[in-house]
Amino acid sequence: MNGRTEEQMNLKTEKPKNGKTEELKDRKLVSEKDYVGLLKEIKEKIVSARIKAFRGINKELIKLYWEIGRLVVERQQRHKWGKSVVEKLSKDLRGSFNVINGYSAQNLWYMRQFYLEYKEEQKLQQLVGEIPWGHNILIISRVKDKKAREYYLRASAESGWSRNVLLNQIKAGAYQGLRN
pLDDT, averaged per 10 consecutive residues of the chain (180 residues), comes to 44 45 43 88 96 92 97 96 94 87 92 96 92 96 96 95 97 84
pLDDT at 33: 83
What is the rounded CA–CA span in Å between residue 99 and residue 93? Answer: 8
Q: What does the alpha-carbon distance between residue 9 and residue 37 come to, in Å, rounded to a whole number?
A: 20
What pLDDT is recorded for position 180?
58
Nearest of 131, 124, 115, 112 to residue 148 by alpha carbon: 124
- DSSP 8-state code for residue 132: -
Q: How far apart are CA 150 and CA 143, in angstroms?
A: 10
Range list of H helices, 99-171: 105-118, 122-128, 133-142, 146-159, 163-171
Which pLDDT does position 9 carry in this prediction? 41
Q: Are 72 and 86 in contact (CB under 8 A)?
A: yes
Q: What is the pTM of this model?
A: 0.75
Q: Which of 163, 157, 139, 159 is nearest to 149 (CA)?
A: 139
Measured distance CA(71)–CA(100) in Å, rounded: 21
